[in-house]
């Protein structure tokens, strides 16, 4: 009887896992298809896909999206990260801990020629962002604007650049419970070891929780296009451009000093290693071999001193 009960429990468990898997997989696919239906990029970009589909499935909870061929854009890369609705273990962990995964949309857009750093992030996550992003921590400072949404912080290297993001059209789109952050940077996110590591494409990244309503989905998609056009149209004053250039010169000098310090440390370690190897080699020599080496070193030093005397 006990064995029979265990078999029933095992069968029911497998059935539940399969049902959750099927329902979760289907739900994620429906969400992805809904986003494709509502996305506004078909007339804006040359889209890249497989078998006529612009949204490429990269796992049961991950979909990717490629686009190019638009003014002010080198290329666009989108990632739709959905909840693992098909994973019953994750569901149970979330239920037990009271937490939940979020459906997230990430757009990464390469912007030509712009040389600025900007971050718009939810106020409670600003410190975390600066800790995780070397570029923002290095050059961006918080800026205050009376019209800016109170739930967000705006950080940038040049104050004049940030002013352009206080336009009414932009503020209406930014002031959303779904937006998590916007970053724009021509510097690397992680601290480079060399000056060559500073060379990177200017990249705009927009991260938002996937909205529940069709209207909000359209609004978040529109934000991508509005920001691309805004950034491409910004013309800074000569003074602002000069400040931006000086900031980058300071960053280059900082990296150069780090590189020089690293080189000195490397040479010092090499010398220490050579001395250690030489000491180990001498320790293996016989007394007779050591006397020969000492005599050879004495002769070398005499010749060296004699040369110095001639030069003087």
* Cα within 13 Å of Cα(161), Cβ side: 27
Residue 268: the pLDDT is: 85
3-state SS, residue 87: coil
Number of residues that this document lists for the chain: 312
Model confidence band, residue 290 (pLDDT cutoffs 50, 70, 90): low
Residue recorded with tokens 């009960």: 5
Percent of the chain with pLDDT over 70: 89
For residues 129 and 41, the model is more confident at 129
Residue 183: the pLDDT is: 94
Structure token digits, residue 1: 């009887």
33-57 average pLDDT score: 74
Residue 312: the pLDDT is: 46
Residue 101: the pLDDT is: 54
Instruction: Encode pLDDT of 239-250 as tens digits.
Output: 999 999 999 999
Instruction: Encode pLDDT of 167-191 as tens digits.
Output: 988 999 999 999 999 999 999 999 9
* Cα within 13 Å of Cα(109), Cβ side: 31
Percent of the chain with pLDDT over 90: 33
- The mean of the pLDDT values for the chain is 83
Beta carbons of 65 and 55 less than 8 angstroms apart: yes
* Cα within 13 Å of Cα(280), Cβ side: 6
pTM exceeds cut of 0.85: no
């Amino acid at each position: 009887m006990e064995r029979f009960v265990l078999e029933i429990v095992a069968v029911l468990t497998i059935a539940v896992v399969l049902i959750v898997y099927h329902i979760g997989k289907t739900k994620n696919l429906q969400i992805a298809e809904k986003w494709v239906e509502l996305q506004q990029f078909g007339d804006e970009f040359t889209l890249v896909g497989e078998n006529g589909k612009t949204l490429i499935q990269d796992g049961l909870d991950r979909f990717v999206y490629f686009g190019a061929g638009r003014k002010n854009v080198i290329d666009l890369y989108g990632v739709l990260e959905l909840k693992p609705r098909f994973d019953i273990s994750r569901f149970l962990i979330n239920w037990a801990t009271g937490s939940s995964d979020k459906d997230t949309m990430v757009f990464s857009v390469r912007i030509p020629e712009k040389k600025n750093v900007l971050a718009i992030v939810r106020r409670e996550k600003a410190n975390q962002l600066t800790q995780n992003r070397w570029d923002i921590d290095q050059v961006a400072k918080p800026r205050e604007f009376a019209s800016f949404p109170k739930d967000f912080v705006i950080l940038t290297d040049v104050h004049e650049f940030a002013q352009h993001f206080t336009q009414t059209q932009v503020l209406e789109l930014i002031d959303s419970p779904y937006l998590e952050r916007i970053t724009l940077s021509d510097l690397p996110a992680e601290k480079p070891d060399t000056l060559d590591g500073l060379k990177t494409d200017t990249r705009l990244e927009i991260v938002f929780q996937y909205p529940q309503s069709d209207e909000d989905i359209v609004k978040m998609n529109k934000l991508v296009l509005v920001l691309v056009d805004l950034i491409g149209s910004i013309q800074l004053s000569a003074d602002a451009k000069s400040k931006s250039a000086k900031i980058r010169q300071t960053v280059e000098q900082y990296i150069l000093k780090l590189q020089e310090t690293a080189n000195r440390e490397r040479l010092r370690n090499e010398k220490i290693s050579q001395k250690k190897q030489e000491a180990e080699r001498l320790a293996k020599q016989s007394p007779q071999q050591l006397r020969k080496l000492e005599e050879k070193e004495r002769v070398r030093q005499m010749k060296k001193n004699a040369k110095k005397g001639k030069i003087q």
